[in-house]
Amino acid sequence: MTGQYGSSAERPGDEQAPARRDEAHTPVAGRARQGMFGVSGTGDTSGFGGLQLPRYVPPAAERPYGGWFDEAADALLESLRAKGLPDDTVHQITVDRGEITFYVRTEHLLEVCRSFRDDPALRFELCSSVSGVDYGEDVPQRLHSVCHLTSMTYRRRVRVEVTADVEHPHVPSVVEVYPTADFQERETYDMFGIVYDGHPALTRILMPDDWDGHPQRKDYPLGGIPVEYKGAEIPPPDQRRAYT
């Protein structure tokens, strides 16, 4: 993953902020969306057949971020530099809808989490959630693993996000830093196929152990899968009965 975004260079006059990247190297490549399931014509009975959403990618934030975001970003970057980590460990910071997201290098995720937890200026003691995202087949490094961290000391929340290729969906487990991530990483593995290296017992938690595939991936079939308990079959969206 290191070569995906290139090397980081900081903006002149702002030693604390990671460089803003051009669109080709942002962690998320947005795309326009039409219809809830991507089907056309009749058959989509979800009620979202006419849904049209424009392409949207939250841009890298410019300083000042606002509120306490600058204070937290400075404290994190100072902590990482004190550990001898490279300046591009945090390769993008995004502020969108009143929330701040730190996109970090996958190989440095554990050290970033330790800084968030242990630094006196940060004190994000709780990992309240680990979740996955699949941005679809036409997006490079389409799988994202997202940690939501909460500071009970300062009553603040941040998001820490890493990316992975679907061909090599490995990211470090944060269970040794945040034990609450245990079952949540298992669920993300079960639903998205993200493999959390170092997890104490990475097994499925919702689907049967012998289940084929990961149900929340964008390339997972939407229908036609036998339902185990009664042998019924759910048809694909374009074969469902229309009620209009």
pLDDT band at 12 (very low <50, low <70, confident <90, very high): very low
Q: Assess contact for 234 and 215: CB atoms under 8 A.
A: no
Task: Compare 197 and 243 and report the one with higher pLDDT.
Answer: 197
Q: What pLDDT score does 241 carry? A: 66
Q: What is the 3-state secondary structure (H, E, C) of 103-138?
A: EECHHHHHHHHHHHHHCCCCCCCEEEEEEEEECCCC
Q: What pLDDT score does 165 carry? A: 93
Q: What pLDDT score does 120 carry? A: 97
Q: What is the 3-state secondary structure (H, E, C) of 217-235?
A: CCCCCCCCEECCCCCCEEC
Distance CA 50, CA 47 (A): 8
Distances (CA, A) of 22 to 6, 19, 65, 105: 11, 10, 19, 17
Range of lowest pLDDT (24-28, 109-113, 122-126, 170-174): 24-28
What is the arithmetic mean of pLDDT over 143-166?
97
42 pLDDT more than 70: no
16 pLDDT more than 50: no
pLDDT band at 238 (very low <50, low <70, confident <90, very high): low
Range of lowest pLDDT (44-58, 78-92, 106-120): 44-58
pLDDT band at 51 (very low <50, low <70, confident <90, very high): low
40 pLDDT more than 70: no
108 pLDDT more than 80: yes
Q: What pLDDT score does 153 carry? A: 97
List the one residue out of 33, 31, 9 whose CA is nearest residue 21.
9
pLDDT band at 43 (very low <50, low <70, confident <90, very high): low
Token pair belonging to 22: 């051009």
Q: What pLDDT score does 54 carry? A: 74
212 pLDDT more than 80: yes
Any idea what DSSP says for residue 70?
Answer: H
What is the arithmetic mean of pLDDT over 163-191?
97
How many C-beta atoms surround the C-beta of residue 5 within 10 A? Answer: 20
DSSP element (H, E) containing 16: none
* Beta-bridge partner residues of 197: 172
Domains, the chain, with CATH or none: 2-11+56-210 (3.30.460.80)
Q: What pLDDT score does 46 carry? A: 57
